[in-house]
């Protein structure tokens, strides 16, 4: 079995076979992540290719602590960018858009966040909020709003009813809103 450290080392040496190992080990996971956002297999596969190019261009100088988390983040950004482009083209309303809409009334929009400092403060506040949650609640929140999983999928994975997931997410969003108000970010 090829280790993540070996892959990162080979990327630093500019060995293209590392990209093949990434595709073999993490390609399907990354494709599923992109598919949850885009709901189109061909676009999801294109995002995986974009992620591989981004990995090639970013390692070095970057040295990720977790290769899997790094890859998921890159493919997620590629899929979000593609979804934004597509929604501008046809103003569709997929599941990922629905998940973001649930947070839209809480989080400031890009137009309201006027500087990188404010954006950083928001990120720090979000991190503090997430670390204050019970692990189970944090996991549900991340599944919905980071991994863009449907409520139905989250319920199945966590052996919960859909209504329990919805209630937990609703209460967590409410707590997030209170936390951001307390931090002066709303």
Residue 23 has, within 13 A of its CA and on its CB side, a CA count of 14
Residue 55 and residue 16 in one domain: yes
Residue 79 and residue 15 in one domain: yes
Tell me the pLDDT tens digit for each residue of 6-25: 999 999 999 999 999 999 99
Of 91, 92, 59, whose CA–CA distance to 73 is shortest? 59
Asked if the model's pLDDT at residue 140 lies above 90, the reply is yes
pLDDT of residue 80: 84
91 or 181: which leads in pLDDT: 181
pLDDT of residue 172: 94
Residue 62 and residue 102 in one domain: no
Q: Angle between the 17-38 and 95-104 helix axes, to the nearest 10 degrees?
A: 70
Collect all residues with Cβ–Cβ distance below 8 Å to 138 and sequence separation of at least 6. 130, 131
DSSP state of 109: P
Residue 61 and residue 106 in one domain: no
Residue 113 and residue 176 in one domain: yes
**Cα(first)–Cα(last) distance of the chain, in Å?**
48
* Predicted TM-score (pTM) of this structure: 0.60
47 or 107: which leads in pLDDT: 47
Whether 40 contacts 100, CB under 8 Å:
no
Question: Per the structure, how many domains does the chain have?
Answer: 2
Residue 70 and residue 33 in one domain: yes
State the residue for tokens 């929009």.
109
Please give the backbone phi and psi of residue 138, each rounded to the nearest 5 degrees, phi first. -60, -40
Any idea what the CATH number is for the domain that residue 55 is in? Answer: 1.10.1740.10
Residue 72 has, within 13 A of its CA and on its CB side, a CA count of 14
- Which of 6-10, 55-59, 85-89, 113-117 bottoms out in mean pLDDT, i.e. has the lowest? 113-117
Asked if the model's pLDDT at residue 37 lies above 90, the reply is no
Asked if the model's pLDDT at residue 164 lies above 80, the reply is yes
Residue 104 and residue 161 in one domain: yes
Residue 35 and residue 105 in one domain: no
Q: What is the mean pLDDT of residues 32-57?
A: 91
Give the structural domain span for 45.
4-91
Dihedral of the alpha carbons of 44, 47, 48, 54, in degrees to the nearest 10: -170
116 or 136: which leads in pLDDT: 136
Residue 87 and residue 18 in one domain: yes
Q: Which of 40, 72, 91 is the last residue of a domain?
A: 91
* Helices marked H in the chain: 4-12, 17-38, 41-58, 67-90, 95-104, 116-132, 135-145, 151-157, 162-182
Q: Which of 56, 91, 126 is the last residue of a domain?
A: 91
pLDDT of residue 115: 46
Residue 83 and residue 38 in one domain: yes
Any idea what the CATH number is for the domain that residue 119 is in? Answer: 1.10.10.10
CA torsion sign for 64, 60, 75, 179 is positive
Residue 81 and residue 105 in one domain: no
């Amino acid at each position: 079995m090829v280790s993540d450290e070996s892959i990162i080392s080979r990327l630093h040496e500019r060995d293209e076979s590392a990209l093949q190992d990434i595709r073999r080990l993490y390609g399907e996971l990354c494709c599923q992540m992109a598919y949850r956002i885009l709901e189109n297999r061909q676009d999801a596969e294109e995002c995986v290719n974009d992620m591989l190019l981004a990995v090639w261009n970013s390692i070095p100088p970057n040295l990720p602590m977790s290769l899997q988390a790094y890859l998921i983040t890159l493919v997620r950004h590629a899929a979000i960018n593609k979804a934004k482009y597509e929604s501008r083209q046809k103003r569709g309303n997929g599941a990922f858009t629905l998940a973001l809409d649930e947070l839209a009334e809480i989080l400031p929009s890009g137009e309201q966040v006027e500087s990188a400092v404010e954006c950083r403060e928001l990120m720090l506040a979000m991190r503090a909020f997430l670390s204050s949650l019970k692990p189970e609640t944090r996991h549900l929140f991340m599944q919905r709003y980071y991994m863009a999983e449907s409520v139905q999928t989250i319920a199945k994975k966590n052996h919960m009813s859909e209504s329990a997931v919805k209630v937990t997410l609703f209460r967590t969003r409410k707590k997030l809103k209170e936390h951001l108000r307390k931090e002066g970010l709303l």
